[in-house]
Structure 1
Amino acid sequence: MPDIRRVGLIGGGVIGSGWAARCLLSGLDVDLYDPDPEIARKTEEVLANARRAWGRLFPDARPPEGRLRIVGSLREAVAEADFVQESLPERIELKRRVLAAASRPARPDTIFASSTSGLLPSDIQAEMAGPQRLVVGHPFNPVYLMPLVEVCGGALTSEDARQRAAAFYRSIGMRPLMLHKEIDGFIADRLMEALWREALWLVHDGVATTAEIDDAIRYGPGIRWSFMGTFLIYRIAGGEAGMRHFMAQFGPALKWPWTRLTDVPELTEAFLDRLAAQSDAQAAGTSIRDLERLRDDCLVSVLSALRARGYAAGEVVKRQEETLWDKAQAGAIAAIGDLSQPLRLHRARVEADWIDYNGHMTESRYLYVFGNAADALFRCVGIDTAYHAAGFSYYTVETHIMNLAEVSVDEPIHVTIQVLGVDPKRLHIFHRLYRSSDDRLLATAEQMLIHVDTRLGRAVPADPAVRGRLEAIAEAQKDLPKPPEAGRAIGMGRG
């Protein structure tokens, strides 16, 4: 397939500008036609959001941005394009007329794609020159982030066009879903429309509000849907017996009056056999227990990301974490026992997303682990959610990490803390990171922290009770040898 370096876009609304952003940030040049006199401003605003999002998603993996050219005619948009994406309003007459006009000045080998969310490609391509090169490439908003694109050909579409379109979408970081049969609404929209219809009935009948319905999705099945589709989730729900057992249990409920959508296919033996066989192929030999672990790992990843934003289910997780912290650390100093030894306060297991391209724990995760250990110490001495809510905390002002051995995925680790010094505003601590299976020392970290009033943004003395507990630990540990790594500076020895 010829390299695609220039993309022509017809229509620059929400979807068209999203296509522009994805293509430009992938390093492709874009010629965009839209008669809206405000199109340049609107596209640039969407592009600014896309740059921000990609900067977070791909901080170090972005090629030089492509060049955007706002053009004044269809001919200019398609004449030099290697690939054309149309994103006009959902009116069949408009799409058919514009694509027919655009197809004539374009090169014969240029692939055309429509962003339509439900119109049939056979109807759209009918009047084009070279109709065999038209596919539907139905994206999801925001186009610059959502990977799914449904690729569907019409009656006249060639297999070569389908495959070339799919290859192009993959090249800009998308996941093409190849439809084998032309159908109104394709796949994803038909599923979303079914949910949407039922949601409208629930509001109409006074069963739930719009907010309650959205909460039912975003705190529940929507989280699982982000990584496992309906069939794989239900396979797990069927236990070791799989999809057939699930259908035997819950299949009859499909005709119960739980929903307005009770027109369902007959669960014949032939249909159940097909469901079970396709589910087995989808699972590809993965056991239910392994699928459960995969589900759990993905849920933890999604919930952890949402927790960092403090939004939706992440807000619930964050609140529960704070509750667990407070319960776990209540009276923790007394439970530690011998304060005269470095305090073992934090343990973890190295997760897969902590690993870098060398197969070892990435540098930022060392700081993450040591930070969690410091948080554990703070909770022990009374710096809890109420303390933070009052506007007080310790801030790190200096850290020196020494990596002494490699740390691999799934290894159990723990951290000990030695308190080297305390005064009213400062705290000097030293961490040691060990592999728990053999107590091998993996890394150390020395930190200086200051106590701050977070509302005023300046250093202030710590609460006397908090400072007293820290001073008690420092006094108990005063006879410990000073770590040889403490106080060291980075430098090269003299040759």
Structure 2
Amino acid sequence: MSTSTNKKAAIIGGGVIGGGWASRFLLNGWDVAVFDPDPQAKRKINEVLANARCSLPALYDRSLPDEGTLTFHDDLAKAVSDAQWIQESVPEQLALKHKILAQIQAHAPSDCLIGSSTSGFKPSELQQGSIKPEQIVVAHPFNPVYLLPLIEVVPSAATDASVLEAGCDLLRSVGLKPLVVRKEIDAHIADRLLEAVWREGLWLVHDEVATTEEIDDAIRYGFGLRWAQMGLFETYRIAGGEAGMEHFIGQFGPALKWPWTKLMDVPELTPELTARIAQQSDDQSGHMSIRDLERLRDDNLVGMMRALKKSGSGAGGTINDHEASLPEPMPMDDLPVTGDRQIPQSWTDYNGHMNEAHYVEVSAQASDRFMEMIGADADYIANGGSYFTVETHVCYLNEISAGDHIRVTTQLINGEGKKLHLFHRLINDEGAVAATVETLLLHVDIKTRRTSEPGGVVATNLAEMAKRHASLAKPDQLGRAIG
């Protein structure tokens, strides 16, 4: 039995999806045990994990938990022992899944849920012949599992509601968005929608209306961008204008009877059509390796999801909820840690270094966190008081690159009267100060838009913080000016 105090997930099947599951749990602090007889499983999972380490932490403005321990096992029984979550991701063959699920249940803890990554089978089909059918649910993810939050969770009539909710809470704890499918149905929800688009795409290539690249362009330059934040029905609600969805359906509903689509028919995938699709796909993106395409995909997803994070729309809301649950960092060098994060690729410039604007962004986030610590939080601001930045000075001491992990400490230089004079240090994993940011803020009465002195809990907390920081040495860069 492991001596680790971490929770443990067992991943059965180490392909692309299994590797994504392993990365998602591992980077959220879980120990992960992998069982896969493929001799290449370790290499494949470590390659997926390398991409995940670059991208998943970059979604957050807080540090994820320390990584758990990753182990590989030749013995399925050892892999699943003591696991709180078991994820089966073997090939989509029902007989094989029955065989593996039976082996899992023979050795798994009795109170552990077993999720299947199946994209098509219903849970009742997976549960056939099971010694404990209520233990098995569909937990269908989307690639890359370590980035995309959606998990379709499909119970059957045998599934206990309280156990299902506990399983969903567990998935939320690693930053996922469980979508409980209320009725069993082949291919669940998302893949049925994707299948419709895929069928149309095949016909458009078959009939030589469009190439694979042109079809992808129609999606990625158009409705794909809308779907990322609003989905299907909310997009059409807006299309209905002020009159809303009822007007949209009344106006465009009759078109559904027109012969626009071939949803109930599929072109025969002849060798000729398959070769045409493959060649067009090679022409489109064959100049890049699969790993390069994955990294490009991940960088783009991080950028889009961080944009959604700012508004809380779509996947951004899931990231915000998960980030709020992450633990606060411990103080360093007798100073509060006001930032603890990985640098996303989108923050870097043509030299591969963090752009100047983001040093100021990091310091602004640190100032906001310091304000929260002294009581100038959202409620305080809502009641009419806040601090406004009036001056900032950055000293660049060491390069910061995409993927680097930094912590920010904040020293209170002066908190008397209307002034809030702060000094932030950006510290890398080697303990070196990569940059310093000195900033001066003034307390403002938001109603009058004039400076004012803070009162109540903010003034009290500032006085206490000033006492703690009074004995600290003044920073070397304090009071610096250009030249």
Give the TM-score normalised by structure 1.
Answer: 0.56
Other-structure match for 1:256: 258
Other-structure match for 2:229: 227
Identify which of 124, 127, 130 aligns with 2:126.
124
Gaps of 5+ in 2: 266-307, 317-343, 350-363, 373-377, 379-385, 395-434, 452-475
For 1:110-121, list aligned pairs within 5 A: 110-121=112-123
Change (3 A) 1:104 1:206: same
For 1:61-76, list aligned pairs within 5 A: 61-76=63-78
Identify which of 84, 92, 95 aligns with 1:93.
95
Partner AA of 2:168 in structure 1: A
For 1:143-182, list aligned pairs within 5 A: 143-182=145-184
Separation in 2, partners of 1:31, 1:40: 11
Other-structure match for 2:469: none
Identify which of 419, 434, 442 aligns with 1:405.
442
Matched, 1:246 2:248: yes
Judge conservation of contact 2:150–2:179 (CA < 8 Å) in 1.
Answer: yes
Other-structure match for 1:207: 209
Instruction: Give the 3-state SS of the residue equivalent to 2:203 in structure 1.
Output: helix
For 1:327-342, list aligned pairs within 5 A: none
Separation in 2, partners of 1:52, 1:123: 38
Instruction: Give the 3-state SS of the residue equivalent to 2:146 in structure 1.
Output: coil
Instruction: Give the 3-state SS of the residue equivalent to 2:115 in structure 1.
Output: strand
Separation in 2, partners of 1:29, 1:65: 8
How far residue 491 of structure 1 moved from its aligned partner, in angstroms, is 5.2
Change (3 A) 1:11 1:407: farther
How far residue 165 of structure 1 moved from its aligned partner, in angstroms, is 1.8
Judge conservation of contact 2:89–2:117 (CA < 8 Å) in 1.
Answer: yes
Partner AA of 1:12 in structure 2: G
How far residue 43 of structure 1 moved from its aligned partner, in angstroms, is 1.2
Instruction: Give the 3-state SS of the residue equivalent to 2:72 in structure 1.
Output: strand
Other-structure match for 1:21: 23
How far residue 77 of structure 1 moved from its aligned partner, in angstroms, is 1.5
Change (3 A) 1:307 1:82: closer
Change (3 A) 1:298 1:124: closer
For 1:60-459, list aligned pairs within 5 A: 60-261=62-263, 356-357=368-369, 358=372, 402-405=439-442
Partner AA of 1:240 in structure 2: E
Instruction: Give the 3-state SS of the residue equivalent to 2:21 in structure 1.
Output: helix
How far residue 155 of structure 1 moved from its aligned partner, in angstroms, is 3.8
Instruction: Give the 3-state SS of the residue equivalent to 1:98 in structure 2.
Output: helix
Change (3 A) 1:297 1:51: closer
* Residues matched between the structures, number: 314
Separation in 2, partners of 1:405, 1:223: 40
Matched, 1:9 2:46: no
Partner AA of 1:95 in structure 2: K
Instruction: Give the 3-state SS of the residue equivalent to 1:405 in structure 2.
Output: strand
How far residue 221 of structure 1 moved from its aligned partner, in angstroms, is 0.6
How far residue 309 of structure 1 moved from its aligned partner, in angstroms, is 9.3
Instruction: Give the 3-state SS of the residue equivalent to 1:44 in structure 2.
Output: helix
How far residue 402 of structure 1 moved from its aligned partner, in angstroms, is 4.1
Instruction: Give the 3-state SS of the residue equivalent to 2:186 in structure 1.
Output: coil
Judge conservation of contact 2:6–2:31 (CA < 8 Å) in 1.
Answer: no
Judge conservation of contact 2:27–2:68 (CA < 8 Å) in 1.
Answer: yes
Change (3 A) 1:110 1:178: same
Separation in 2, partners of 1:22, 1:169: 10
Instruction: Give the 3-state SS of the residue equivalent to 2:139 in structure 1.
Output: strand
Instruction: Give the 3-state SS of the residue equivalent to 2:182 in structure 1.
Output: coil
For 1:474-493, list aligned pairs within 5 A: 490=478
Other-structure match for 1:372: none
How far residue 362 of structure 1 moved from its aligned partner, in angstroms, is 10
Change (3 A) 1:66 1:400: closer
How far residue 361 of structure 1 moved from its aligned partner, in angstroms, is 9.1
Gaps of 5+ in 1: 264-293, 311-351, 369-397, 412-436, 441-487
Q: How big is each residue's C-alpha offset from its partner over 1:334-369, in whole Å with a ceiling of 9 and x where there is no partner? A: xxxxxxxxxxxxxxxxxx999944457999x9789x
Partner AA of 2:113 in structure 1: I
How far residue 161 of structure 1 moved from its aligned partner, in angstroms, is 3.1
Judge conservation of contact 2:120–2:186 (CA < 8 Å) in 1.
Answer: yes
Other-structure match for 1:44: 46
Change (3 A) 1:438 1:207: same
Change (3 A) 1:257 1:41: same
Partner AA of 1:404 in structure 2: L
Which aligned runs of 4 or more in structure 1 are off by greater than 6 angstroms?
Answer: 296-299, 305-310, 352-355, 360-363, 365-368, 437-440
Partner AA of 2:197 in structure 1: L
Partner AA of 1:38 in structure 2: Q
Q: How big is each residue's C-alpha offset from its partner over 1:424-481, in whole Å with a ceiling of 9 and x where there is no partner? A: xxxxxxxxxxxxx9799xxxxxxxxxxxxxxxxxxxxxxxxxxxxxxxxxxxxxxxxx
Identity %: 48
Partner AA of 1:250 in structure 2: F
Separation in 2, partners of 1:116, 1:144: 17
Separation in 2, partners of 1:212, 1:106: 48
Separation in 1, partners of 2:129, 2:444: 62
Partner AA of 1:190 in structure 2: R
